[in-house]
Amino acid sequence: MVNSVMNKQDNLLPATLFDLVQAPLRWQVVKIAFSQGIFDHLVTPLTAQDLATKLGFDAVRCELYLNALCAMGLIEKQQGLFANRAEYGDFLRSDGKKSIGELFLQLSQTRHDDLELLLRGAEKTVPLDMNSEEHWDGAAKSLLAFHRAVAGKQMFACLSELPEWENARHVLDIGAGSSILAQGIVTSHPARQVTIIDLPPLARRMKQEQLVDFPARERVNVIEGDFNLVDLPEKQDVIWASMTLYYARDLEALLRRCHKALAPGGVFVSFHEELCQERTAPESHIVGRLVPAMKGNATSFDKDQIAQAVRAAGFASVSVRTVQTVVGPMAVTVGR
Ligand SMILES: C[S@@+](CC[C@H](N)C(=O)[O-])C[C@H]1O[C@@H](n2cnc3c(N)ncnc32)[C@H](O)[C@@H]1O
């Protein structure tokens, strides 16, 4: 009965709008759960009263709030006791192996703002300069969380599908963000070595925080610097550039240097979102990056822009395919 009503074309727009009016509220519910450590408390089942006492919340409203977290499928309630769902614990607890709270709290700061004020040209909203070291230093923890939770595996899968991968020994990751992918690469083969180039604050975090306890750390070389300026290591079998080419001062020149840094038979792989239909699609990237774009960071590439630059940089052949990821479709551009 419900389905037959929902299927009517006439109901689609109102249903979408009803859903949208709830979206900001859903985010607030989740944001509070991360910022107040609610998933850490709910490792052991608690009543709303117990949690309210621990966090200084109103007990009646706390029950309503926890019911909403349940309704959204993030926790469970049984006989008045609230607890994490076993399958999400690793993602939602702050000490979980795939903890993502930090990522989403940081992402919301970058992606949300007062759109109307921005549209009116306001200067007063929170500024955002994605070309600055400070911005990336501030994003370091959330990049690490993103890579640990989902992206590291997906990026590794992309590399391991290359026909050249089996024999690849030297890999260069420019603008890596964290050492998670590098760790996965060197773990996958005892003779693989990875060089990372990233801005000094991030590179230092990788060396001093992420790699100290990593057993194969001698096979991960981290270079602190701007990839526009530092010498690229030579004879690389694979050069990987993911969501970082926006910061190339001269894209073609950087790609030419990458081409030169490859060993014979080596490949360059780019992993970036690309916009199409006059920069109105895909929705995930257009809406997701709207606020940064309004603040002067409209950096996404147009469809095939990277492929054209790769060709112009001297690569003999270029292929592009699209992969679906948790942040939306990404173009994988391979230059040989
Ligand atoms: C959006 S993050 C991408 C991180 C990772 N590659 C990924 O796909 O998730 C951009 C990365 O590029 C780095 N970056 C930005 N400008 C850079 C530059 N000029 N030289 C080296 N790294 C840079 C940032 O520090 C950050 O780690």
306 within some domain: yes
Confidence of residue 65 (pLDDT cuts 50, 70, 90): very high
Domain termination site, one of 90, 120, 136:
90
C-alpha 52/C-alpha 65 separation (Å) is 10
Whether residue 210 sits in one domain with residue 74: no
Whether residue 161 sits in one domain with residue 81: no
- DSSP-assigned beta bridge partners for residue 124: none
C-alpha 179/C-alpha 171 separation (Å) is 13
Confidence of residue 113 (pLDDT cuts 50, 70, 90): very high
Enumerate residues 6+ apart whose C-beta is below 8 A from 278.
none
Protein residue whose Cα sits closest to atom 27 of ligand 1:
177
158 within some domain: yes
Protein residue whose Cα sits closest to atom 4 of ligand 1:
177
pLDDT: which is higher, 123 or 1:
123
157 within some domain: yes
pLDDT value for 2 = 53
Whether residue 181 sits in one domain with residue 272: yes
Host domain of residue 214: 152-335
Mutate to test the pocket of ligand 1, among 198, 229, 242, 332 (most ligand atoms within 8 A of CB): 198
Mutate to test the pocket of ligand 1, among 247, 300, 306, 332 (most ligand atoms within 8 A of CB): 247
Distance, CA 260 to ligand 1 centroid (Å)?
A: 21
Mean pLDDT of 132-153: 96
Mean pLDDT of 314-330: 97
pLDDT, tens digit (0-9, with 9 covering 90-100), for 241-297: 999 999 999 999 999 999 999 999 999 999 999 999 999 999 999 999 999 999 999
pLDDT, tens digit (0-9, with 9 covering 90-100), for 204-250: 999 999 999 999 999 999 999 999 999 999 999 999 999 999 999 99
Confidence of residue 125 (pLDDT cuts 50, 70, 90): confident
Mean pLDDT of 132-149: 95
Q: What ipTM is given for this predicted complex?
A: 0.99
Whether residue 75 sits in one domain with residue 208: no
Assessment of whether the complete model's pTM goes beyond 0.90: yes
Instruction: Classify residue 202 as exposed, middle or buried by CB count within 10 Å of its CB (0-12, 13-18, 19+).
Output: buried
pLDDT at 8 over 90: no
For residue 34, give Cα distances in angstroms to 1, 64, 92, 144.
37, 17, 8, 17
Domain termination site, one of 62, 90, 118:
90
Protein residue whose Cα sits closest to atom 20 of ligand 1:
226
Whether residue 164 sits in one domain with residue 56: no
Q: Is 9 helix (H, G, I), strand (E, B) or coil?
A: helix
Whether residue 72 sits in one domain with residue 158: no
Dihedral pair phi/psi, residue 43, rounded to 5°: -65, -35
Whether residue 52 sits in one domain with residue 198: no
Q: Which of 238, 330, 237 is nearest to 285 (CA)?
A: 330
Whether residue 43 sits in one domain with residue 162: no
Q: Is the CB of 197 under 6 A from ligand 1?
A: yes
Q: Tell me, what DSSP letter sits at residue 208?
A: I
Question: In this structure, are strands 236-242 and 75-78 parallel, antiparallel, or unpaired?
Answer: unpaired
Q: Is the CB of 273 under 6 A from ligand 1?
A: no
C-alpha 117/C-alpha 106 separation (Å) is 21
Does residue 190 have a cis bond before it (omega within 30 degrees)?
A: no
Question: In this structure, are strands 220-224 and 193-198 parallel, antiparallel, or unpaired?
Answer: parallel
- DSSP-assigned beta bridge partners for residue 238: 171, 267
Protein residue whose Cα sits closest to atom 8 of ligand 1:
242
CATH of the domain at 42: 1.10.10.10
Specify the number of domains making up the chain: 2
65 within some domain: yes
Whether residue 284 sits in one domain with residue 198: yes
279 within some domain: yes
Q: Is the CB of 91 under 6 A from ligand 1?
A: no
314 within some domain: yes
Confidence of residue 4 (pLDDT cuts 50, 70, 90): low
Q: Is the CB of 199 under 6 A from ligand 1?
A: yes
pLDDT at 168 over 60: yes
Whether residue 185 sits in one domain with residue 75: no
Would you state the structure tokens that stand for residue 249, as one six-digit string?
Answer: 């001062």
Taking the CA of residue 136 as reference, the ligand 1 atom at the shortest distance is 25
142 within some domain: no
Q: Is the CB of 179 under 6 A from ligand 1?
A: no
CATH of the domain at 288: 3.40.50.150
Q: Is the CB of 40 under 6 A from ligand 1?
A: no
Taking the CA of residue 173 as reference, the ligand 1 atom at the shortest distance is 6
Taking the CA of residue 155 as reference, the ligand 1 atom at the shortest distance is 8
Whether residue 77 sits in one domain with residue 165: no
323 within some domain: yes
Domain termination site, one of 46, 62, 90:
90
